[in-house]
Chains A and B, each alone.
Chain A
Amino acid sequence: MDLGEINPVLLVASLMVAATPLLLAAIGELVVEKAGVLNLGVEGMMIIGAISGFAISVETGSPWLGFIAAAIGGAILSLLFVLLTQVALANQVASGLALTLFGLGFSALLGQSYVGVKPPSMGEINIPFISDIPVIGPILFQHDPILYLGIALIAAVWAVLKYTRIGLILRAVGENHDAAHALGYKVIKIRIMAIMFGGACAGLGGAYISLIRVPQWTEGMTAGVGWIALALVVFASWKPWRVLLGAYLFGGITVLQLNLQAAGVAIPVEYLAMSPYIITILVLVILSADKSSAPASLGRIFHASH
């Protein structure tokens, strides 16, 4: 065993990278659920984002355009969910699952000609002097821009939900859609916007995997991150900063356990392998002892005639 081989600076830096896809997908889903909609199609929207971001950045040579395309791709797929649940009033659970299945299959089709292609690199932000500060520099100031965008999104969602009128209306729709409707708010319209925001975020998260974390395209490459994001939103009690905490915990322990294994620490590997799930759940469950509960209208179908 040689713990000295683990470089804590690199460890923290790579845990932030490992957490970002989860963070992006989860914050999008948080907004969707706050509006009272349960979209289980996160995994499908992520993988569509992963391939559309990958394809566009390879074709144009610009990772930025790729990420924009990923957000649009995820949002377009979420429109299918809108059509099913908000227009046709279909069951949200079934529609979400269908969205995931469709996304996985459709992305495999789209990605046929992109297997083994190397995407253009986004590069890291390098601020003179600041990025060179020992320890703090590599941890905080030497990342790709999307990682900072993820953190900024958390802050923005938190501020909007808490302090703005838009946030208040969104929460009202999620808590009691009949009352919101009676007050004259366009419940369906607001939910559609929330769902598309969620789709765009999930798309970004997927593209982060295919363009930065791995970087390549492989079928099914999101490998369940969307499902973890869904669980994370619940365990984080629908609170943005807890989503950040949960994502960093999960990403962090995932990377840490690999590091411990490589350094030969004498903890049975099975425990290390399951530790990200257990520790994340434990911490968030303890935190949610304050009885914050789900949006009251979560998963319920709204029709103006009710």
Chain B
Amino acid sequence: MKFKSLLTTATIALGLATGAVAQDKTKVGFVYVGPVGDGGWTYEHNKGRLAVEEHFGDKVETVFVESVPEGPDAERVMTQMALDGADLIFTTSFGYMDPTINVAKKFPDVKFEHATGYKTADNVSVYSARFYEGRAVQGHIAGKMTKSNTIGYIGSYPIPEVIRGINSAYIHAKKVNPDVEFKIVWAYTWFDPAKEADAATVLIEQGADVILQHTDSTAPQAAAQEAGNVITFGQASDMGEYAPMPRVSSIIDNWAPYYIARVQAVADGTWSTANTWDGIGPGMVEIGEISDAVPADVKEEALALKAALADGSYHAFTGPLKKQDGSDWLADGETADDGTLAGMNFYVEGLEGEIPQ
């Protein structure tokens, strides 16, 4: 009932706000999973939207609806946007995948862009960032800096994107600290500050002195700050307000160049279905400043790792690697192919616990 009325209000407001606009403008819609003020994931997508507005000025009009639940409600929001004349719609969460495909079928002339998914169509592109490259850098710093050898990881949902991050962080933490152990908690939410803070507190109480998060709010940072002597990493956004401690570095999603390029393509009529997956090299993933809380030599190594990932001389998943069950995955020197990574549903050897199915 709550979401229903929320959405009704939102879509009506959208309709009112956009009904009178002239048709020669390119109209771009954004569907967000959290509030634009979450300080993380949605905040960065919204920054991308603002960059589009700034870049194109009067030629483009953008609309957005925030806090749209993943599921059927998302379909209604997208449908309304398309009916209101949007030319291009960005749907910015994994759970919007099927709704996006469904709505795209009904509006063949509208272009859709779905973040972090893998289903494409004639008018649906997918785009994502290779966050796992950033996770490799985090894992390195975490492995070097943990004193309790216990690293806590707050997962959102057990989807490939999150599992890739866990594996990548673990591999690189283990490489520099063979005794390291990961404790993984699934929050089953992208955004619930109280629950995220509880999860962080629980992990800290159980001995973790590094907290990695794959949820969208800054709550775990606040919980770590409260506990003291725990380090964290900004997720999706810099979360620089928690630097230099507990936040010692971050992964920043930089969507602006991609959004601008895609809007330009629609305006020019050159848009075509694409499957974009960029990492540190092209700048879609940025590593936030490594703070002074990190020893200088560790910082240097981390930056070297970042550089190697950026120029392609090193892949975050390089063999020899085994799966959790002990079976071989990658031979010595072999690197993971994108297909396996995109659908990753297994832990690498050494991680404990099972992935919820």
Interface residues of A (CB under 8 A from B): 5-7, 10-11, 14, 18, 21, 43, 97, 100-101, 108, 111-112, 115-118, 121, 209, 213-216, 218-225, 227, 254-255, 258-259, 261-264, 266, 268-270, 273
Asked if residues B222 and A263 are in contact (CB atoms below 8 Å), the reply is no
B241 at interface (Cβ–Cβ under 8 A)? yes
Q: Whole-angstrom distance between the alpha carbons of A112 and B43 in the complex? A: 13
Partner among A43, A112, A121, A268 whose Cβ is within 8 Å of the Cβ of B37: A112
Partner among B2, B185, B186 whose Cβ is within 8 Å of the Cβ of A100: B2
Asked if residues B198 and A261 are in contact (CB atoms below 8 Å), the reply is no
A14-B201, A14-B205 known; A221-B356 Cβ under 8 A: no
Asked if residues B185 and A219 are in contact (CB atoms below 8 Å), the reply is no
Asked if residues A215 and B185 are in contact (CB atoms below 8 Å), the reply is no
Q: Whole-angstrom distance between the alpha carbons of A221 and B192 in the complex? A: 6
Asked if residues B225 and A264 are in contact (CB atoms below 8 Å), the reply is no
A101-B6, A216-B219, A269-B356 known; A254-B37 Cβ under 8 A: no
Partner among A101, A215, A254, A266 whose Cβ is within 8 Å of the Cβ of B198: A254
Which A residues touch B6, using CB under 8 A?
101
Which B residues touch A214, using CB under 8 A?
193-194, 197, 219, 222-223
Which A residues touch B225, using CB under 8 A?
118
Asked if residues B5 and A255 are in contact (CB atoms below 8 Å), the reply is no
Which residue on A lies nearest to B36, using beta carbons? Answer: A219
* A–B Cβ pairs within 8 angstroms, 13 of them: A6-B206, A10-B205, A14-B205, A100-B2, A101-B9, A116-B218, A116-B242, A118-B225, A214-B222, A220-B34, A223-B193, A261-B185, A269-B356
Partner among B194, B202, B223 whose Cβ is within 8 Å of the Cβ of A223: B194
Interface residues of B (CB under 8 A from A): 1-2, 5-6, 9, 34-39, 67, 152, 158, 183-186, 188-189, 191-195, 197-199, 201-203, 205-207, 217-219, 221-223, 225-226, 239, 241-242, 352-354, 356
Asked if residues B194 and A258 are in contact (CB atoms below 8 Å), the reply is no
A108-B35, A213-B194, A254-B198 known; A261-B2 Cβ under 8 A: no
Partner among B37, B189, B192, B198 whose Cβ is within 8 Å of the Cβ of A219: B37
In the assembled complex, how far is the CB of residue A146 from the closest CB belonging to chain B, in whole angstroms?
A: 15
Asked if residues B5 and A97 are in contact (CB atoms below 8 Å), the reply is yes
Asked if residues B202 and A259 are in contact (CB atoms below 8 Å), the reply is yes
Q: Whole-angstrom distance between the alpha carbons of A186 and B225 in the complex? A: 51
In the assembled complex, how far is the CB of residue A278 from the closest CB belonging to chain B, in whole angstroms?
A: 14
Which residue on B lies nearest to A2, using beta carbons? Answer: B206
**Interchain residue pairs A-B with the least CB separation, the first 7:** A116-B241, A219-B35, A219-B37, A269-B356, A223-B192, A216-B222, A221-B193
Partner among B188, B202, B222 whose Cβ is within 8 Å of the Cβ of A255: B202
Which B residues touch A268, using CB under 8 A?
354, 356
In the assembled complex, how far is the CB of residue B195 from the closest CB belonging to chain A, in whole angstroms?
A: 7
Which B residues touch A262, using CB under 8 A?
152, 183-185, 202-203, 206
Main secondary structure of the interface of A (DSSP, over half): helix
In the assembled complex, how far is the CB of residue A168 from the closest CB belonging to chain B, in whole angstroms?
A: 34
In the assembled complex, how far is the CB of residue A147 from the closest CB belonging to chain B, in whole angstroms?
A: 15
In the assembled complex, how far is the CB of residue B24 from the closest CB belonging to chain A, in whole angstroms?
A: 32
Which A residues touch B354, using CB under 8 A?
266, 268
A97-B2, A116-B218, A258-B185 known; A14-B37 Cβ under 8 A: no
Asked if residues A270 and B356 are in contact (CB atoms below 8 Å), the reply is yes
| Further contacts, 16 of them, CB under 8 A, given A115-B39, A262-B183 | A14-B198, A18-B194, A43-B2, A108-B37, A118-B222, A214-B223, A216-B218, A216-B219, A218-B37, A220-B35, A220-B38, A255-B202, A259-B206, A262-B206, A268-B354, A269-B186
Q: Whole-angstrom distance between the alpha carbons of A209 and B223 in the complex? A: 12
A218-B217, A219-B38, A223-B192 known; A258-B241 Cβ under 8 A: no
Q: Whole-angstrom distance between the alpha carbons of A18 and B48 in the complex? A: 35
Q: Whole-angstrom distance between the alpha carbons of A101 and B13 in the complex? A: 13
In the assembled complex, how far is the CB of residue B346 from the closest CB belonging to chain A, in whole angstroms?
A: 16
Q: Whole-angstrom distance between the alpha carbons of A8 and B71 in the complex? A: 38
Partner among A10, A115, A213 whose Cβ is within 8 Å of the Cβ of B197: A213
Which A residues touch B219, using CB under 8 A?
214, 216, 218, 221
In the assembled complex, how far is the CB of residue B328 from the closest CB belonging to chain A, in whole angstroms?
A: 25
Q: Whole-angstrom distance between the alpha carbons of A228 and B197 in the complex? A: 18
Most buried by A among B192, B207, B223: B192
Which B residues touch A97, using CB under 8 A?
1-2, 5
Q: Whole-angstrom distance between the alpha carbons of A268 and B186 in the complex? A: 11
In the assembled complex, how far is the CB of residue A288 from the closest CB belonging to chain B, in whole angstroms?
A: 23
Q: Whole-angstrom distance between the alpha carbons of A62 and B346 in the complex? A: 49
In the assembled complex, how far is the CB of residue B73 from the closest CB belonging to chain A, in whole angstroms?
A: 15
Q: Whole-angstrom distance between the alpha carbons of A263 and B35 in the complex? A: 32
Which B residues touch A220, using CB under 8 A?
34-35, 38, 67, 191
In the assembled complex, how far is the CB of residue A229 from the closest CB belonging to chain B, in whole angstroms?
A: 13
Which B residues touch A273, using CB under 8 A?
186, 188
Q: Whole-angstrom distance between the alpha carbons of A17 and B193 in the complex? A: 14
Asked if residues A21 and B39 are in contact (CB atoms below 8 Å), the reply is no
Q: Whole-angstrom distance between the alpha carbons of A121 and B354 in the complex? A: 38
Which residue on B lies nearest to A270, using beta carbons? Answer: B356
Which residue on B lies nearest to A263, using beta carbons? Answer: B206
In the assembled complex, how far is the CB of residue B49 from the closest CB belonging to chain A, in whole angstroms?
A: 16
Which A residues touch B205, using CB under 8 A?
7, 10-11, 14, 259
Asked if residues B183 and A264 are in contact (CB atoms below 8 Å), the reply is yes
In the assembled complex, how far is the CB of residue A295 from the closest CB belonging to chain B, in whole angstroms?
A: 22
Asked if residues B352 and A264 are in contact (CB atoms below 8 Å), the reply is yes
Which A residues touch B221, using CB under 8 A?
216
Q: Whole-angstrom distance between the alpha carbons of A254 and B193 in the complex? A: 14
Asked if residues A261 and B197 are in contact (CB atoms below 8 Å), the reply is no
In the assembled complex, how far is the CB of residue B336 from the closest CB belonging to chain A, in whole angstroms?
A: 25
